[in-house]
Chains A and B, each alone.
Chain A
């Protein structure tokens, strides 16, 4: 089954404790992206990648890191999480190009205390 998986689905952590949210897709998509969703703000792009070893900042990259060492995986790293990073995070993938819709993972709800 074609899908985007994220882990963990739920995470409660404390300020400053490094964490990684994994994202994997099995559709051989070149493009992968991370979003955060906050009430009243919609989805905002954090980072995206158009291929292996190619990553670019989205609109809200501060406090986040990503890597793309393999085509299928695109982990999101919070080196020192803060409470303002409490949010719902989505990973998505697609083929390159403006005609292609994104396929979304199920989301990761992160709470930073």
Chain B
């Protein structure tokens, strides 16, 4: 069965440091997409970055990059030079392309950036 695991319920990081949020997944579908979303305290869900299972290169979007290790089934989010505004809940999600297009989310990691 498809599954997403985020093992860090909470993290505290000093401002300007880089931070890695862990995400591992399990699927039998060879074609899938992995997504990261940010949920600030205001509650909205904000799309950050996407990685396709066949992508050869790790995705990057500004200060966000995705450390994709397919053999290990991991898709960690890396935030470089963290800022106070990065304090939020972060969710990893997976969408399988060859099945019935169900989407599953991890339980999330709450990130606190310290000044």
Contact = CB atoms under 8 A, between A and B. Distances in A.
B102 A43 contact: no
B88 interface: no
Given A98-B95, A99-B33, A44 B105 contact: yes
B103 A33 contact: yes
Contact of B102 (A48, A90, A104): A48
Nearest to B95: A98
B31 A98 contact: yes
B91 interface: yes
Contact of A42 (B33, B52, B107): B107
A82 B35 CA distance: 32
Given A90-B45, A107-B44, A102 B91 contact: no
Given A98-B33, A98-B52, A98-B96, A43 B47 contact: no
Contacts of B108: 42
Contact of B103 (A48, A99, A106): A48
B97 interface: yes
A45 to B, nearest CB: 6
Interface of B: 6, 9, 31-33, 35, 37, 43-45, 47, 50, 52, 91, 93, 95-97, 100-108
